[in-house]
Amino acid sequence: MKRTAKDSEFSSRKISRRGLIMGGAQLAFVGALGLRMRYLQVDQADQFRMLAEENRINVRLLPPARGLMFDRNGALLAANEQNYKIVLVREDAGDVEEVLARLAQLVPLTAEDLERATREIYRRSPFVPVTVADRLRWEDISAVAVNAPALPGVTPEVGLSRGYPRGQDFAHVVGYVGPVSDYDLERLNDPDPLLQIPKFQIGKSGVEAKLEHELRGKAGHRRIEVNATGRVMRELDRIDGEPGANIQLSVDADLQNFIQARLAGESAAASVIDTETGDLLAIASSPSFDPNKFVRGISVADYSELTENKYRPLAGKAVQGTYPPGSTFKMVTALAALHDGVVSPEDTVYCPGYTYLGGRRFHCWKRGGHGNVNLHDSLMRSCDVYYYELAQRVGIEKISAMARLLGLGERHDLPMSAVAQGLAPTKDWKRERHGEGWQVGDTLNAAIGQGFVLASPLQLSIMAARLATGRTVTPRLVKSINGVEQPSHAGTPLGLNENLLRQVRRAMFDVSNSRRGTAFRSRIVEDAFRMAGKTGTSQVRSAVVRNQDVPWEQRDHALFVCFAPFDAPKIAVSVVVEHGGGGSKAAAPVARDIVLQALYGGLPPLAAYPAADHERIREMQRELPLRNPSSAEDGKDQA
Amino acid sequence: MSYLEYNLKTAPTGLSKIFHLNWPVILLLTAVSCVGFLMLFSVAGGSLTPWVEPQMKRFALGMVLMFLVAMVPIWFWRNMAGVAYLGSLALLLLVELFGAVGMGAQRWIDLGFMRLQPSELTKFTLVMILAAYYDWLDVKKTSRPFWVIIPILLILVPTYLVLRQPDLGTAILLVAGGGIIMFLAGVSWYYFAGVVASGVGAITAVFKLRGTEWQFLKDYQYRRIDTFLDPSSDPLGAGYHITQSKIALGSGGWTGRGFMQGTQSRLNFLPEKHTDFIFTTLAEEFGFVGGVSLLTLYTLIIFFCVVSALRNKDRFSSLLTLGIAATFFLFFAVNMSMVMGLAPVVGVPLPLVSYGGSAMLVILVAFGLVQSAHVHRPR
């Protein structure tokens, strides 16, 4: 087919016109693209540049070193031990199985460890370091370092882990740390990003938990450049965090160690308080446990051994345990009555061995009775009937008020777990709690520290300290934080009549220094360190049976509170031996040993003891399982 | 027999044809390819491997082919249009039947030394057959329904085969490229108005049928459209491409972060940074200035082609040149719209810059046709 020139001209013009339209349209589109580019690259540049920074920069937290804990003399109680571990990077290792097999010849690795490590290695990205072995000795690390060429991808690393050089001595005071749990996150409601680090260690009990905030420190961070798969390309900068605060406790580690050793074999607790400053010198609870086991992850067997032990090693009995104070409560009743003026120190009460109230017979512990007793005799010989009489005259409200004044029935603010409030009962309390009215019989029981009255060993030592000084001695456990001395409480006067107090103290002195006193056998013969105390035996059961004839759980609790030296009191001590029998036999000798140990600052000379006891004391001092001073700073042998 | 053959006396012969080539276009193509080498070098982290070296070899091969194609008179290529078209259809059928599966789609045939994507070839053979068709067709019949249906069928057959692969990007380019040639050839405006109207209807249908047995697109294609409409809906999933590429572009600013300093591409945040998304690397490292420069280079290529086409009195040459220029335009326009978040992610490479053998070779051969039309134009 042939086309005319005119046709071609026509079609050519048409193509030209439409070609120009197309070109124009394309040019317009190119213009639009240019504008869009301008919008993205110029107008919104800042915003996108920021997004790009966020993309590539990853912030890694640097956990701070946890604060250390010391005793009042600077002995380490909670340390950060160097923890050697070995990590492996899959992509550098090449043949993972081969490298692990070689590694197993150098460091102790069980088949189980190997299997766990292998699983972890393949689960993670190839460039993520995975911990293969933990808590290694320096020798193992050296062996790995020497053989590094044969172990591609294997790196030794040093980390910090918590250790307690004093082992079980301070398990209840210092507490322990453990990996943060979901429950902790919920409980603490703490936005600190450190808590989001897997297995980050936080305080779980004791001071570790209560002063977690001070001990933890502030996280540092390093900014690293990462690519889209999270691989670290380089470190941009690093800001070190603030280490946690070092905490000095008021306790004396050697005294605590002595007490723990002295209490060994018993379910018992003791509290020693400085009467001048309120510093707690020792808060012991026996038996105890090794907190290091908790840090490492305690085995099920070890844990059930602790929970199933009838002596309850996990409980810090000195602050958590509450006991009927028994006769140690008599100073409270006496002072309440004396202050109310319903009795004077010289007034006598006749004790036939019992008293009747509403047809019920209330016994004195001494069947034959004490005859005519005044204040001094009633305390020294611990007559119950005298206090039954006083109780009826003064009433429960005033007794409870006196108890609270002396530090009972009140929760003292200490950074320890589950500090008990105890109980100084009132009429209102009983109505609210039991829905019953208060009976006079209740008052009689309370007067001799039985019935509803409950006190912890800590509270009893505070009571003794307040009796000794007449001031509101308040306990202090934390001596300083990062070198900053915490306020101590010498206390203010209790507002008690000094003359009456002196009479009570004098009677307490005779408890352990008069031949007729209940704790005469536990006297101190060194004149400078004479002690004043009060025995207590609190009943666990109601029937009157000899202690030797009943199972351990039903025997009486033995208590003793004291302060010393009598002339210028320095310390107040309380001892509770659970189901230990009589206070004079089971608790007073322990309290005497503690007093002497504390006042001498070490094992006391036999001369401080009555001559008849020398042989027995020497034997006891030799057998005492005290920690070896040479290994004092090395916690590893306890692990 | 066309007007062309009566006016051959002045057409150059032999090696003197080289002087009559459209040299500005050749220089511009080389410049754009060099930008490509530079960017591939950058995304490889300053290395000639794995991308720059093969890309350079293909460019060299493509240039040789372009010159060979340019030397052959344009009327030979017009006569070959039918063969080329049928050949590319046959290849499309071949990938349908035997093609290897790459990235979840059957797209290429392994020739041993390179992988051939017949869909790339089809974009230009379609332009050839349509140009030849309108050259042959009496101008007066252009807008008659019967003569309009034939080119539509010519477009839809390869489009269907490409969609089967599935390759939505190429399908869109085929339809748009074919449509542009029909428009240039003078098909009445009414048809285009009709197509726009029915297109709106079709899009509605596509979305209405989603989730039913008859759904028209693959799920991932729907997702890409969703993502385009709202990239923030799934920033780490399907929206990742768009979000990251916008971040890369935006963080480039006026002059960019400097050659090989783009953190987005360097650190692998950009997906397919050496193929479809290579423009983002350019924009991040050379900023707005770099992006506009490349856009200008592309625009100049189109400009010289359009000028050449409009001055060419041969209907086939004119339509072919404009068609190839339009297809080339669609390539970079769709790619840039995609990375700038103006269009859904459809998988169209940036011509001559993205890493990819078929596209490079096919584009250069197509420009060989443009050169042939330019050299052998009636004077």
User: Residues of CATH 3.90.1310.10 domain(s) within chain A?
Assistant: 58-249
List the beta bridge partners of residue A519: none
A190 pLDDT more than 80? no
Q: Which residues of A touch B322 (CB under 8 A)?
A: 15, 19, 22
Are B251 and A51 within 8 A, CB to CB?
yes
pLDDT digits (tens, 9 = 90+) for A224-281: 776 666 667 777 777 788 899 999 999 999 999 999 999 998 999 999 999 999 999 9
- The residues spanned by each domain of chain B are 3-375
The most distant pair of C-alpha atoms in chain A lies apart, rounded to whole Å, by: 154
**Where would I find the beta strands (DSSP E) of A267-314?**
268-274, 280-286
B330 CA: distance to closest CA in chain A (Å) = 9
Q: Name, of A80-89, A184-193, A585-594, the range with top average pLDDT.
A: A585-594
Are A56 and B269 within 8 A, CB to CB?
yes
* Contact between residue A292 and residue A323 where contact means Cβ atoms under 8 Å apart: no
Q: What's the first-to-final CA gap in chain B, in angstroms?
A: 17
pLDDT of A632? 42
pLDDT digits (tens, 9 = 90+) for A489-511: 778 899 999 999 999 999 999 99
The three-state secondary structure class of A571 is strand
Token pair listed for B56: 């350079």
Using an 8 Å CB-CB cutoff, list residues of chain A that contact chain B: 1-3, 5, 7-8, 10-12, 14-16, 18-20, 22-23, 26-27, 29-30, 33-34, 36-38, 40-42, 44-45, 47-49, 51-52, 55-56, 225-229, 233
Give the whole-angstrom CA distance, residue A69 versus residue A482: 10
Mean pLDDT on A26-54: 83
A531 pLDDT more than 90? yes
Token pair listed for B164: 């089967």
CA B134 to each of CA A15, A154, B67, B176: distance values in angstroms, whole numbers, following the listed order: 11, 72, 26, 17
| Residue B1 binned pLDDT confidence (cut-offs 50, 70, 90) | very low
Q: Can you state the angle between helices A498-513 and A330-340, rounded to 10 degrees?
A: 150
Q: Which residues of A touch B3 (CB under 8 A)?
A: 3, 5, 8
Task: Find the CB nearest B250 among A14, A45, A233.
Answer: A45
Are A33 and B298 within 8 A, CB to CB?
no
Give the best residue of B247, B270, B308, B316 to mutate against chain A (max A CB count within 10 A): B247
* Number of Cβ within a 10 Å radius of residue A28: 10
pLDDT of B59? 94
Give the whole-angstrom CA distance, residue A418 versus residue A175: 12
| Vertex B319 angle, CA B331 and B315, to 5° | 170
pLDDT of B338? 85
CA A68, distance to chain mean position in Å, is: 14
| Residue A175 binned pLDDT confidence (cut-offs 50, 70, 90) | very high
Are B309 and A227 within 8 A, CB to CB?
no
B15 pLDDT more than 90? no
Return the residue of B nearest to A233 by Cα. B267
pLDDT of B111? 65
CA B169, distance to chain mean position in Å, is: 10
Q: A201-203 and A571-577 as β-strands: parallel, antiparallel, unpaired?
A: unpaired
> Of A285, A289, A290, A291, nearest to A271 (Cα)?
A285
pLDDT of A631? 43
A238 CA: distance to closest CA in chain B (Å) = 20
Q: What are residue A251's phi and psi, to 5 degrees?
A: -75, 155
Residues contacting A615, CB < 8 A, separation 6+: none
pLDDT of A58? 66
Token pair listed for A484: 């900053």
Helices (H), chain B: 23-43, 52-71, 74-98, 118-136, 145-164, 168-185, 189-208, 219-229, 240-252, 263-266, 278-311, 315-339, 357-375
Q: What are residue A490's phi and psi, to 5 degrees?
A: -70, -20
| Residue B153 binned pLDDT confidence (cut-offs 50, 70, 90) | very high
Token pair listed for B86: 């049928």
Q: Which residues of A touch B315 (CB under 8 A)?
A: 8, 11-12, 15
CA B149 to each of CA A374, B40, B83, B186, B187: distance values in angstroms, whole numbers, following the listed order: 130, 43, 21, 14, 11
Token pair listed for A622: 């030799």
* Number of Cβ within a 10 Å radius of residue A339: 19
Residues contacting B373, CB < 8 A, separation 6+: B74, B308, B309, B312, B314, B316, B317, B318, B320, B321
> Of A339, A323, A322, nearest to A331 (Cα)?
A339
CA B331 to each of CA A403, A547, B28, B120: distance values in angstroms, whole numbers, following the listed order: 93, 102, 16, 11
Task: Find the CB nearest B253 among A11, A34, A41.
Answer: A41
Return the residue of B nearest to A49 by Cα. B251
CA B256, distance to chain mean position in Å, is: 27
A411 pLDDT more than 50? yes
* Contact between residue B74 and residue B316 where contact means Cβ atoms under 8 Å apart: yes
| Residue B107 binned pLDDT confidence (cut-offs 50, 70, 90) | low
pLDDT of A450? 92
Q: What's the first-to-final CA gap in chain A, in angstroms?
A: 106
* Number of Cβ within a 10 Å radius of residue A376: 18
Are B246 and A40 within 8 A, CB to CB?
yes
pLDDT of B186? 86
Token pair listed for A285: 């609870």
Q: Which residues of B touch A48 (CB under 8 A)?
A: 246-247, 249-251
Average pLDDT, chain B: 83
Are A8 and B313 within 8 A, CB to CB?
yes
pLDDT of B10? 65
Residue type, A170: F
pLDDT digits (tens, 9 = 90+) for A273-326: 999 999 999 999 999 999 998 887 788 888 899 999 999 999 999 999 999 999
* Contact between residue A561 and residue A573 where contact means Cβ atoms under 8 Å apart: yes
| Residue A379 binned pLDDT confidence (cut-offs 50, 70, 90) | very high
pLDDT of B305? 94
Backbone dihedral region for residue A128 (phi beyond 0: left; psi -120 to 50: alpha; all else: beta): beta
Q: A360-363 and B105-110 as β-strands: parallel, antiparallel, unpaired?
A: unpaired
A86 CA: distance to closest CA in chain B (Å) = 29
Q: What torsion do the CA atoms of B146, B148, B154, B157 make, to the nearest 10 degrees?
A: -80
Q: Is A327 noted as a catalytic residue in this protein?
A: yes
pLDDT over 70 percentage in chain A: 92
CA A360 to each of CA A364, A387, A440: distance values in angstroms, whole numbers, following the listed order: 13, 16, 11
| Vertex A163 angle, CA A157 and A166, to 5° | 150
The three-state secondary structure class of B349 is coil
A92 CA: distance to closest CA in chain B (Å) = 20
CATH class of A253-602: alpha beta
Give the whole-angstrom CA distance, residue B282 versus residue B288: 9
Are B269 and A12 within 8 A, CB to CB?
no
pLDDT digits (tens, 9 = 90+) for A611-625: 988 999 999 988 888
Are B310 and A20 within 8 A, CB to CB?
yes
Mean pLDDT on A104-124: 82
pLDDT of B112? 61
B347 pLDDT more than 70? yes
Of the candidate ranges A179-188, A359-368, A379-388, the one whose mean pLDDT is the lowest: A179-188
Element (H, E) at A13: helix A5-38
Return the residue of A nearest to B179 by Cα. A22
* Contact between residue A461 and residue A271 where contact means Cβ atoms under 8 Å apart: yes
pLDDT of A2? 45
**What is the 8-class DSSP label of residue B187?**
-
Average pLDDT, chain A: 87
Q: Which residues of A touch B247 (CB under 8 A)?
A: 48, 51-52, 55
Residue that has been written with the tokens 């807008």 in this structure:
B143
**What is the 8-class DSSP label of residue A476?**
B
pLDDT digits (tens, 9 = 90+) for A549-606: 788 888 899 999 999 999 999 999 999 999 988 888 999 999 999 999 999 998 899 9
> Of A345, A355, A451, A357, nearest to A396 (Cα)?
A451
Q: Which residues of B touch A28 (CB under 8 A)?
A: none
CA A586 to each of CA A521, B304, B318, B374: distance values in angstroms, whole numbers, following the listed order: 11, 112, 118, 119
B368 pLDDT more than 90? yes
B112 CA: distance to closest CA in chain A (Å) = 33
Are B295 and A228 within 8 A, CB to CB?
no
Give the whole-angstrom CA distance, residue A259 versus residue A608: 18
B246 pLDDT more than 90? no
Residue type, B53: E
Give the whole-angstrom CA distance, residue A266 versus residue A579: 9
Element (H, E) at A117: helix A111-123
Element (H, E) at A138: helix A138-146
Q: What CATH code would you report for A58-249?
A: 3.90.1310.10
pLDDT of A639? 33
* Number of Cβ within a 10 Å radius of residue A264: 13
The three-state secondary structure class of B50 is coil
A22 CA: distance to closest CA in chain B (Å) = 8
Are A22 and B309 within 8 A, CB to CB?
no
Residue that has been written with the tokens 């908790």 in this structure:
A294
B106 pLDDT more than 90? no
List the beta bridge partners of residue A577: A268, A558
Mean pLDDT on B116-131: 89
Give the best residue of A1, A10, A14, A22 to mutate against chain B (max B CB count within 10 A): A22
- The better pLDDT of the pair A160, A428 is held by A428
pLDDT digits (tens, 9 = 90+) for B254-271: 888 778 777 666 656 666
A154 pLDDT more than 90? no
- The better pLDDT of the pair B311, A3 is held by B311
Are A41 and B252 within 8 A, CB to CB?
yes
B266 CA: distance to closest CA in chain A (Å) = 8
**Where would I find the beta strands (DSSP E) of A137-218?**
154-163, 177-179, 201-203
Would you list the DSSP string of A18-34? HHHHHHHHHHHHHHHHH
Task: Count Cβ–Cβ pairs < 8 Å, chain A vs chain B.
Answer: 143
Q: What are residue A567's phi and psi, to 5 degrees?
A: -75, -35
Of the candidate ranges B45-59, B223-237, B306-320, the one whose mean pLDDT is the lowest: B223-237
SS (H, E, C) A54-117: HHHEEEEEECCCCCCEECCCCCEEEEEEEEEEEEEEHHHHCCHHHHHHHHHHHCCCCHHHHHHH
A154 CA: distance to closest CA in chain B (Å) = 26
| Residue A630 binned pLDDT confidence (cut-offs 50, 70, 90) | very low
Which of A267, A327, A512, A522 is an active site residue?
Answer: A327
pTM: 0.62
A170 pLDDT more than 50? yes
Q: A268-274 and A280-286 as β-strands: parallel, antiparallel, unpaired?
A: antiparallel
Q: What are residue B104's phi and psi, to 5 degrees?
A: 80, 5
Task: Find the CB nearest A44 among B139, B250, B295.
Answer: B250
A56 pLDDT more than 70? no
Give the whole-angstrom CA distance, residue A605 versus residue A607: 5
Q: Which residues of B touch A49 (CB under 8 A)?
A: 250-251, 253
Return the residue of B nearest to A57 by Cα. B263
pLDDT digits (tens, 9 = 90+) for A207-218: 999 999 999 988
